[in-house]
Amino acid sequence: MSDELEQELKEGLRRVPAPDGFADRVMKRAARKERLRIRVMPQRVSYVWQVAVAAMVLLAVLFGVGEIAQRREERRKAELVEHQFDVAMRVTGKTLSGVGERISKTGTKDERGEQ
Amino acid sequence: MTGRIGMTRMRVMMAVAGLLLAAGSIWAMEPLQQKDDLFAGADKFSQGAKSSTEVNLDKNMLGLMGKFGDEGEDKSGSELAKRMDFVIVRSYEYAEEGRYNIADVEQFRKRLEDGGWSHVVKERGERENTDVCVKLGPNGEFSELVVISAEPKELTFVHLKGHMSAEDLMKVSTHYGVREGTQKAKDKEKDKEKMK
C-alpha cells in the first residue's frame, strides 16, 4: 500500500524538462508587465502624488481643526462682546436715567415755586 | 534625478508651510480697538479709582452679537448693537470725593463745543455736572450720543455712534438704567441691613 503511494508520488513529482522557449516567454511577459506599470505610474510621479495626497490630507485636517478653533474663538468673543455691550448699556442707561430723574425733580421744584 | 526629487519635495514642503503660516496669521488676527478722539486721554481718570469700567466695541465686534443665537428671547440688545458703529464707555468710581480734578473734565467738555453737537442736557449743579450731546442723522435719528457725567465719586464718559431712535435711547435708559438702579437699590438695602 505504502509502496504504491510512494511510487505514485515519485511519478507525480518527477522532474520534467520545461518546454522549449518557456523561460524566454516568461521573461518577455514579465518585462512587458513592468513596462506597462512604469507607463501607468512612473516611480517619480508616484512619489510626488503620495506627497501631494499626504499634504492635502494634512491641510484638510489642519483646516478642519482650525475651523473648529476659530468658531470656538468667535463664540468666546461674541459672549465677551455681549457682556461688554450689556455693561456699556447699563452705564449709559443709569447715567441717562439719573439725569432724567434730576431734571424731573428740578422741574417739579420749579413748578412748585411758580405756584 | 535625486536632486529633482529633492527640489520637488522642498517646494511642496515650502508651499505647505506657506499655507499654514498664512492660515495661522488670518486666525490670529485680532480686531483693532476703536479709536476715539473725543475721549482720548480719559483713561488717566482711572488713577485712584476704586473701580473702572472701560468698554470699547467697534462695528466688527458689535456684529458678533446674536451671531450664535444664544442671547435669549430679548433680542433688542443685539438688534441695537447691529445698528451701532461703535460703543465707547469709560466709567470710574472713587472711594472718596475729590479724587479727580474737575478742571481735567472741562477739557473733554470743550471738545463738544465744535463739530456740530447739539447740547440736549447741560446740567451744572453743586455736586453733579452732566452734558448730553447728540448729532442727528438725515432721517432725524440720532447718529451720535455723548454723555459726560461728573459726580463727586463717579465720572462717566459715554460715546455711542450708529443709528439710534429716541425709542432706543428710552429703552436703554429705562431697561438697562432701571435694572442697574434696582440692583443698586438692592445693594443699598443690603448695606443698611448689615449696618443694623
HEC letters along chain B: CHHHHHHHHHHHHHHHHHHHHHHHHHHCCCCCCCCCCCCCCHHHHHCCCCEEEEEEEEHHHHCCCCCCCCCCCCCHHHHHHHCEEEEEEEEEECCCCCCCCHHHHHHHHHCCCCCCCEEEEEEECCCCEEEEEEEECCCCCEEEEEEEEEECCEEEEEEEEEEECHHHHHHHHHHHHHHHHHHHHHHHHHHHHHHC
Q: What is the three-class DSSP state of A35?
A: helix
Residue A113's pLDDT is what? Answer: 57
- Residue in A with minimal Cα distance to B67: A78
Residue pLDDT, tens place only, A44-58: 667 888 889 999 999
Q: Which of A42-46, B22-26, B151-155 is predicted least confidently?
A: B22-26
> To probe the interface with B, which of A44, A53, A58, A97 has the most B CB atoms within 10 Å?
A97
Contacts of B120 in chain A (CB under 8 A): none
> To probe the interface with A, which of B32, B90, B91 has the most A CB atoms within 10 Å?
B91
Residue B30's pLDDT is what? Answer: 53
Q: What is the mean pLDDT of the segment spanning A92-106?
A: 83
* Chain centroid, CA B128 distance in Å: 22
Q: What is the mean pLDDT of the segment spanning B76-89?
A: 87
Cβ <8 Å between B55 and A87: yes
- Assess contact for B82 and B65: CB atoms under 8 A: yes
Q: What is the mean pLDDT of the segment spanning B32-58?
A: 87
Cβ <8 Å between A97 and B173: yes
pLDDT of B73 over the 70 cut: no
Contacts of A58 in chain B (CB under 8 A): 16
Residue pLDDT, tens place only, A4-63: 889 888 888 888 888 889 999 999 999 888 777 666 666 666 788 888 999 999 999 999
pLDDT category at B169 given cuts 50, 70, 90 is: confident
Residue B188's pLDDT is what? Answer: 47
ipTM over 0.85: no
Predicted TM-score (pTM) above 0.95: no
Contacts of A66 in chain B (CB under 8 A): 23, 27
> To probe the interface with B, which of A68, A79, A81, A83 has the most B CB atoms within 10 Å?
A81
Strands (E), A1-115: none
> In whole angstroms, how far apart are CA B22 and each of A54, A58, B28, B104?
19, 15, 10, 46
Q: Which of B1-5, B96-100, B114-118 is predicted least confidently?
A: B1-5
pLDDT of B68 over the 80 cut: no
pLDDT category at B55 given cuts 50, 70, 90 is: very high
Where do we find the cell 456740530? B116
Q: What is the mean pLDDT of the segment spanning B24-33?
A: 56
